[in-house]
Chains A and B, each alone.
Chain A
Amino acid sequence: MDPFPLPRIPVPALTRRAFLSALAASAPRLLASPTAPRPRADTLILLWMAGGMAQTETFDPKRYTPFEPGLDPNRVLSTFRPIDTAVDNIKISEGLERLARVMDRATLIRTNRVADIGFILHSRNQSNWHTGYAPPQTVACPHLGSVMAKTLGPKNPDLPAFVDIGQNLEIGAESDAIKAFHTAGFLGSEYGPFLIYDPNEAAAAVRPAHLSEDRFRQRYERYSRLLEAQGSAYQQESLARSLNNAHRLLSSPAAQAFDLSLEPKEIYDTYNTSRFGLGCLLARRLTEAGTRFIEVTTEYIPFRYWDTHENGHERTIALKRTIDAPISQLVLDLEERGLLDRTLIVVATEFGRDLIVEGKPEKRVKDQVTVPDRILEPKHYGMHRHFTEACSVLLFGGGVKKGFLYGQTADERPCKIVDKPVSIEDLHATLYYAMGIPPDLAYEVEKRPFHVTKDGKGKPILDLFAQV
Chain B
Amino acid sequence: MRKLWPALFAIAAAGAAPRNIDFDREVRPLLAARCGSCHGGDKPQAGLAMGALADLLKGGQNGPAIVLGDSRGSLLIQRITGFKAPIMPFGGEPLSDSQIDLLRAWIDQEPAHPIDRLLHLTAAPVSDALFARRAYLDLWGLPPTPEQLTDFPSREALLDRLLADRKNYAEHWISFWNDLLRNDEGVVYHGTRQSISTWLLQALEDNLPYDRFVQALLNPTAPTDPAGFLIGVNWRGDINASQTPVMQAAQNSAQVFLGVNLKCNSCHDSFISRWKLKDAYGLASFFAETELSIYRCDMPTGEKSQPRFLFPELGGVAPDASPAERRAAAARLFTTPENTRFARTAVNRIWKRLLGSGLVEPIDEMDRPPQNPELLDWLASDFVAHHYDLKFLIRRIMTSRAYQAPTVRRLTAEQFADSISAITGEWRLLEPSKPGVATPSREWRLKSTPLTRALGRPIRDQVFTDRNHEATTLQALELANGATLSALLHRGARRLLGELPPSPQNLFDSGIVRNEKVPVDVDISGAPELRLLVVDADSYDRSRVIAGWTEAKLVGPGGATTLPDTTNLRVPSELVFPLTGKGYTRFQGTIVVDKASQQSDINPRVRFFVFDQAPDPEHLVRFGDRKEADSSLLPPSAPLRSRFGAGQAGGLSYLYQHTYARNPTPQELSIAQEFLSSGPEGLEDLLWTLFLSPEFLYLH
- Tell which of B92-100, B168-176, B258-266 binds the partner: B258-266
Question: Is A394 at the interface (CB under 8 A from chain B)?
Answer: no
CB proximity of A164 to chain B, nearest CB, Å: 11
Within the assembled complex, what's the spacing in Å between the Cα atoms of A176 and B475? 20
Within the assembled complex, what's the spacing in Å between the Cα atoms of A140 and B479? 24
Given A189-B472, A239-B471; A303-B272 close (CB under 8 Å)? no
Within the assembled complex, what's the spacing in Å between the Cα atoms of A310 and B365? 51
Question: Is B199 at the interface (CB under 8 A from chain A)?
Answer: no
Residues of A within 8 A of B475 (CB): 189, 242
Within the assembled complex, what's the spacing in Å between the Cα atoms of A324 and B271? 50
A230 touches B235 (CB 8 A): no
Question: Is B240 at the interface (CB under 8 A from chain A)?
Answer: yes
Question: Is A229 at the interface (CB under 8 A from chain B)?
Answer: yes
CB proximity of A29 to chain B, nearest CB, Å: 22
Residues of B within 8 A of A310 (CB): 599-600
> Considering residues A189, A232, A240, which has the most beta carbons from chain B within 10 angstroms of its beta carbon?
A189
Question: Is B318 at the interface (CB under 8 A from chain A)?
Answer: no
Within the assembled complex, what's the spacing in Å between the Cα atoms of A123 and B453? 20
Within the assembled complex, what's the spacing in Å between the Cα atoms of A73 and B251? 47
Within the assembled complex, what's the spacing in Å between the Cα atoms of A125 and B665? 57
Which of B187, B248, B447, B458 is the one whose CB lies under 8 Å from A136? B248
- Tell which of A92-100, A246-254, A332-340 binds the partner: A246-254
8 Å CB interface, A254-301 against B: 301
Residues of A within 8 A of B266 (CB): 138
Chain B residue at smallest Cβ distance from A118: B238
Question: Is B681 at the interface (CB under 8 A from chain A)?
Answer: yes
A139 touches B263 (CB 8 A): yes
Interface residues on B, range: 35 or more
Q: Mark A351-378, 1 if CB is under 8 A from B, else 0.
A: 0000000000000000000000000000
CB proximity of B522 to chain A, nearest CB, Å: 30
A190 touches B461 (CB 8 A): no
Which of A121, A170, A177, A230 is the one whose CB lies under 8 Å from B693? A230
Question: Is A183 at the interface (CB under 8 A from chain B)?
Answer: yes
A232 touches B473 (CB 8 A): no
Residues of A within 8 A of B272 (CB): 17, 447-448
CB proximity of A449 to chain B, nearest CB, Å: 9
Question: Is A245 at the interface (CB under 8 A from chain B)?
Answer: yes
Question: Is A208 at the interface (CB under 8 A from chain B)?
Answer: yes
Given A136-B233, A136-B461, A310-B600; A194-B477 close (CB under 8 Å)? yes
Interface residues on A, range: 35 or more
Question: Is B516 at the interface (CB under 8 A from chain A)?
Answer: no
A304 touches B601 (CB 8 A): yes
Question: Is B150 at the interface (CB under 8 A from chain A)?
Answer: no
Which of A138, A205, A232, A301 is the one whose CB lies under 8 Å from B695? A232
B461 touches A180 (CB 8 A): yes
Question: Is A223 at the interface (CB under 8 A from chain B)?
Answer: yes
CB proximity of B569 to chain A, nearest CB, Å: 22
Question: Is B476 at the interface (CB under 8 A from chain A)?
Answer: yes
CB proximity of A365 to chain B, nearest CB, Å: 8
Within the assembled complex, what's the spacing in Å between the Cα atoms of A172 and B186? 10
Residues of B within 8 A of A116 (CB): 238
Chain A residue at smallest Cβ distance from B660: A230
B675 touches A222 (CB 8 A): yes
A229 touches B665 (CB 8 A): yes
Q: Mark A206-221, 1 if CB is under 8 A from B, else 0.
A: 1011110001001110
Within the assembled complex, what's the spacing in Å between the Cα atoms of A230 and B700? 13
Within the assembled complex, what's the spacing in Å between the Cα atoms of A247 and B479? 11
A194 touches B474 (CB 8 A): yes
B685 touches A215 (CB 8 A): yes
CB proximity of A214 to chain B, nearest CB, Å: 11
8 Å CB interface, B438-476 against A: 447, 450, 453-454, 456, 458-459, 461-462, 468, 470-476
CB proximity of A434 to chain B, nearest CB, Å: 26
CB proximity of A300 to chain B, nearest CB, Å: 11
Residues of B within 8 A of A171 (CB): 540
Question: Is B674 at the interface (CB under 8 A from chain A)?
Answer: yes
CB proximity of A233 to chain B, nearest CB, Å: 9
Question: Is B222 at the interface (CB under 8 A from chain A)?
Answer: no
Which of A117, A194, A249, A448 is the one whose CB lies under 8 Å from B237? A117
Residues of B within 8 A of A211 (CB): 486, 681, 685
Question: Is B198 at the interface (CB under 8 A from chain A)?
Answer: no
CB proximity of B599 to chain A, nearest CB, Å: 8
B188 touches A238 (CB 8 A): no
Question: Is B493 at the interface (CB under 8 A from chain A)?
Answer: no
Question: Is B269 at the interface (CB under 8 A from chain A)?
Answer: no
Chain B residue at smallest Cβ distance from A247: B480
Question: Is B236 at the interface (CB under 8 A from chain A)?
Answer: yes
A177 touches B471 (CB 8 A): no
A246 touches B473 (CB 8 A): yes
Which of A139, A227, A307, A448 is the one whose CB lies under 8 Å from B601? A307
A135 touches B471 (CB 8 A): no
A250 touches B190 (CB 8 A): no
Return 14 A-B CB contacts under 8 Å, by A number.
A119-B237, A124-B190, A135-B461, A138-B263, A173-B188, A177-B189, A188-B468, A189-B468, A209-B483, A239-B476, A243-B471, A302-B603, A303-B599, A303-B600
Residues of B whose CB lies within 8 Å of any CB of A are: 187-191, 232-240, 242-243, 248, 251, 261, 263-264, 266, 271-272, 362, 364-365, 447, 450, 453-454, 456, 458-459, 461-462, 468, 470-477, 479-481, 483, 486-487, 490, 538, 540-541, 599-601, 603, 665, 667-668, 671, 674-675, 681, 685, 688-689, 692-695, 697
Q: Which 4 A-B pairs have the closest CB atoms?
A: A118-B238, A246-B476, A118-B237, A242-B476
Other contacts beyond A140-B458, A177-B189: 11, CB < 8 A:
A17-B271, A118-B236, A121-B237, A136-B235, A160-B474, A173-B190, A210-B487, A242-B476, A250-B477, A302-B600, A446-B263
